């Protein structure tokens, strides 16, 4: 090889950063042939220099102050693998682009909050901003949408975007285990965010959905408009009820763009057992995009973990080594349109509603009356015998109808002395 190597600064040497070092070591020769030049890590930074990371980092220059990596004279590209929407990750990202260096990040929180600003800065500096690993880990969905499907109008994109939640839900399904017990296992496997509430409360999936929506629809990233909830309140009993009805429970993000505006939502859904998303298990992710010429595309694979995520980061490095830059959001940032958020009350669908209720006379009548008064038509209703605490599970599946009506029915019931805790509402995909 005669071309100069691509010189890389790596910020963050945790799960993903360690994976990147290992991958570049393991596949060095192949990567060099594919990239047309060597890709060399020159400098690294993290919090604790003395930590044993299971990889040899003594061969790289160590920089204490992460933000200073951007000004390092011997680097072409900074890879940000620290995490967090602000703080050191944002400071480094800004400093990198200001210094006229390309930036790769796996940080969906950073992009959800500051993606537009960073894309503008990258375009102004004529450098690359790449983030394949930020959505669906090792699955090349960013490239798929930005490049492969670039000729299509995409009106809908949806999928399973959080490996931790999918791991938990499918373990609960297979083993009948409790939520908290399985969460600890997902954390130990390195899938979960530093703050795992981002995973289980749907925030991480919302970050990713806002990136996908922007790429798919040519709209400005609008994370603040994503409606989201997570999986904390899902009981093993909900998963069993769903199975009895022919469904599986998955945390699904859905985004649509149309005349009513931009709709973005992440919620647990009931997914029919024969839907491809129902077969996505463990830490796998899947994204479906519907293009007006290509039809339905399904991207699926490992959504988290060191190896798959490093695979996506290094793919971005190879792109930059080849000189493949291109606008981060598939079109210049100035061309991205601002679409108002759509009103979800207008949407129609079927719903699974679960109530924990007191085992006393009139409770079912009260729930049925709230449904009737709000105009919600009940397709089926199940009641299961008393739990240890005396509460009873009531699960309702509604006929298709406006979401506003379901919201009204639940509002009427909220605070009722007949209910033990908040009702659970899951949309049926
Ligand atoms: P880790 O927590 O494993 O690693 C974070 C790294 O950042 C550590 O090396 C840590 O240093 C360093 N760091 C933290 N704070 C600072 C700071 N203030 N200054 C300098 N360095 C700091 O995170 P992950 O590797 O799991 O994730 C990294 C990024 O990749 C995140 O944005 C995450 O969302 C994203 N991501 C992660 C995936 C995964 O499966 N884990 C999948 C896809 C994306 P030290 O080691 O010294 O403590
Ligand atoms: N915490 C994330 C997940 C990592 O569980 O999907 C991948 O983005």
Residues 6+ apart with CB under 8 A from 26: none
CA of 164 to the centre of ligand 2 (A): 6
DSSP code at position 136: T
For 99-120, letters b (16+ CB in 10 Å) and e give bebbbbbbbbbbbbbbbbebbb
Cα(82) to centroid(ligand 1), Å: 4
Distance from C-alpha of 76 to C-alpha of 218, rounded to nearest angstrom: 29
Could you tell me where the DSSP H helices lie in 27-65?
Answer: 28-35
How far apart are the CA of 14 and the centre of ligand 1, in A? 5
∠ CA 123-306-115, rounded to 5°: 25
C-alpha of residue 293 to centroid of ligand 2, in Å: 31
CA distance 352 to 272: 12
The CA 301 to ligand 2 mean position distance, Å, reads 13
Q: In the structure, which protein residues have their CB atom closer than 6 angstroms to any atom of ligand 1?
A: 12-17, 45-48, 51, 66, 81-83, 88, 106-107, 133, 137, 190-191, 193-194, 304-305, 309
**Is the Cβ–Cβ distance between 313 and 305 less than 8 Å?**
no
**Which among 13, 21, 45, 46 is the best mutation to test ligand 1's pocket, defined by most ligand atoms within 8 Å of the CB?**
46
Query: Torsion over CA of 24, 27, 28 and 30, rounded to 10 degrees?
Result: -140
Q: Is 140 in the pocket of ligand 2 (CB under 6 A)?
A: no
Q: Please tell me the least confidently modeled range out of 126-130, 172-176, 276-280.
A: 172-176
Q: Considering the chain, what percentage of its residues have pLDDT values greater than 90?
A: 88
The domain spans of the chain are: 6-138+309-332, 141-299, 345-428
Alpha carbon distance 39, 119 (integer Å): 24
Mean pLDDT of 304-333: 96
Strand partners, 80: 11, 105
Residue whose CA is at the smallest distance from ligand 1 atom 17 = 47
Atom 43 of ligand 1, nearest CA residue:
137
Pair of tokens at residue 429: 């995909």
Torsional class of 176: left (φ above 0), alpha (ψ -120 to 50), beta (otherwise): left
**What DSSP assignment string belongs to 310-376?**
HHHHHHHHHHHHHT----TTSS-GGG-B--PBP-GGG-EE-EEEEEEEESSTTHHHHHHHHHHHHTP
Q: What is the pLDDT of residue 182?
A: 86
pLDDT (tens digit per residue) in 6-31: 999 999 999 999 999 999 999 999 99
- The three-state secondary structure class of 230 is coil
Q: Is the CB of residue 229 below 6 angstroms from any atom belonging to ligand 2?
A: no
Active site residue 208: yes
pLDDT value at 385 more than 80: no
If one residue of 11, 67, 82 were mutated to test the ligand 1 pocket, choosing by the most ligand atoms within 8 A of its CB, it would be: 82
C-alpha 386 to ligand 2 mean position (Å): 37
141-299 topology per CATH = Dihydrodipicolinate Reductase; domain 2 (3.30.360)
Closest CA to 159 of 195, 208, 198, 193: 208
Q: Which CATH class is domain 345-428?
A: alpha beta
166 lines ligand 2 (CB under 6 A): no
Rounded-to-integer distance, Cα 325 and Cα 147, Å? 11
What CA–CA distance (Å, rounded) separates 72 from 187?
A: 34
Tell me if 191 CB under 6 Å of ligand 2.
yes
Phi, psi of 191 (to 5 degrees): -80, -35
Measure CA 388 to chain center.
36
pLDDT value for 387: 67
Q: Ligand 2 within 6 A of 183 CB?
A: no
CB atoms within 10 A of CB 1: 10
pLDDT of 184 reads 84
Residues sharing a CB contact under 8 Å with residue 52, sequence separation 6 or more, in sequence order: none
In the structure, what pLDDT confidence band is assigned to residue 326 with cuts at 50, 70 and 90?
A: very high
For residue 344, what are its two tokens? 């979800």
- Residue 3 makes CB contacts below 8 A (sequence gap 6+) with 36, 37
Question: Tens digits of per-residue pLDDT, 52-109?
Answer: 999 999 999 999 999 999 999 999 999 999 999 999 999 999 999 999 999 999 999 9
Tokens of 288: 């479906």
Pocket mutation for ligand 2, best pick of 17, 105, 162 (most atoms within 8 Å of C-beta):
162
Q: From the candidates 130, 208, 360, 412, which is the catalytic residue?
A: 208
- 191 confidence band (pLDDT: 50, 70, 90): confident
CA–CA separation, 11 vs 95, rounded Å? 13
Q: Whose CA is closest to 106, among 18, 38, 35, 218?
A: 18
Task: Determine which residue's CA is closest to atom 18 belonging to ligand 1.
Answer: 88
67 alpha carbon, closest ligand? 1
Please check whether the domain covering 6-138+309-332 is classified as CATH 3.40.50.720: yes
Tokens, residue 359:
């085992």
Q: What is the pLDDT of residue 386?
A: 66
pTM over 0.85: yes
Average pLDDT across the chain, whole number: 95
8 A C-beta contact, residue 267 and residue 252: yes
Residue 366 contacts by C-beta under 8 Å, 6 or more apart in sequence?
Answer: 413, 416, 418
Judge whether residue 288 has pLDDT over 80: yes
Q: Pick the atom of ligand 1 nearest to 84's CA.
A: 32
């Amino acid at each position: 090889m005669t071309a100069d190597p691509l010189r890389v600064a790596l910020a963050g040497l945790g799960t993903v950063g360690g994976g990147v070092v290992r991958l570049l070591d393991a596949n060095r020769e192949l990567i060099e042939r594919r990239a047309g030049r060597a890709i060399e890590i020159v400098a690294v930074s993290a919090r604790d220099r003395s930590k044993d990371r299971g990889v040899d980092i003594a061969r790289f220059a160590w920089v204490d102050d992460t933000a200073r990596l951007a000004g390092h004279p011997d680097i072409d590209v900074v890879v940000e693998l620290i995490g967090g929407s602000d703080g050191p990750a944002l400071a480094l990202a800004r400093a990198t682009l200001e210094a006229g260096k390309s930036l790769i990040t796996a940080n969906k929180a950073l992009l959800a909050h500051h993606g537009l600003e960073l894309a503008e800065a990258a375009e102004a500096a004529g450098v690359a901003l790449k983030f394949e690993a930020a959505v669906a880990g090792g699955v090349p969905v960013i490239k798929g949408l930005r490049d492969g499907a670039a000729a299509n109008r995409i009106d809908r994109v949806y999928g399973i975007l959080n490996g931790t939640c999918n791991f938990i839900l499918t373990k609960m399904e297979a083993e009948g285990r409790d939520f908290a017990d399985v969460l600890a296992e997902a954390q130990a496997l390195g899938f979960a965010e530093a703050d795992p509430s981002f995973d289980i409360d749907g925030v991480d999936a919302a970050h990713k959905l806002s990136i996908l929506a922007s790429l798919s629809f040519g709209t400005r990233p609008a994370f603040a408009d994503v409606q989201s909830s997570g999986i904390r309140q899902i009981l093993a009993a909900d998963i069993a009820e769903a199975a009895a009805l022919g469904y599986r429970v998955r945390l699904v993000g859905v985004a649509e763009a149309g005349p009513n505006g931009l709709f973005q939502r992440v919620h647990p859904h009931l997914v029919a057992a024969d839907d491809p998303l129902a077969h996505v298990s463990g830490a796998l992710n899947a994204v479906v995009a519907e293009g007006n010429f290509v039809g339905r595309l399904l991207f699926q694979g490992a959504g988290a973990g060191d190896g798959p995520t490093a695979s996506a980061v290094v793919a971005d490095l190879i792109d930059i080594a080849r000189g493949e830059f291109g606008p981060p959001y598939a079109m210049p940032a100035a061309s991205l349109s601002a679409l108002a958020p759509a009103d979800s009350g207008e949407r129609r669908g079927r719903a699974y509603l679960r109530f924990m209720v007191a085992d006393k006379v009139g409770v079912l009548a009260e729930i049925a009356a709230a449904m009737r008064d709000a105009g919600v038509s009940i397709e089926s209703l199940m009641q299961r015998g008393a739990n240890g605490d005396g509460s009873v599970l009531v699960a309702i599946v509604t006929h298709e109808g406006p979401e506003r009506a379901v919201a009204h029915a639940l509002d009427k019931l909220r605070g009722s002395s007949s209910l033990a805790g908040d009702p659970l509402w899951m949309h049926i995909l």
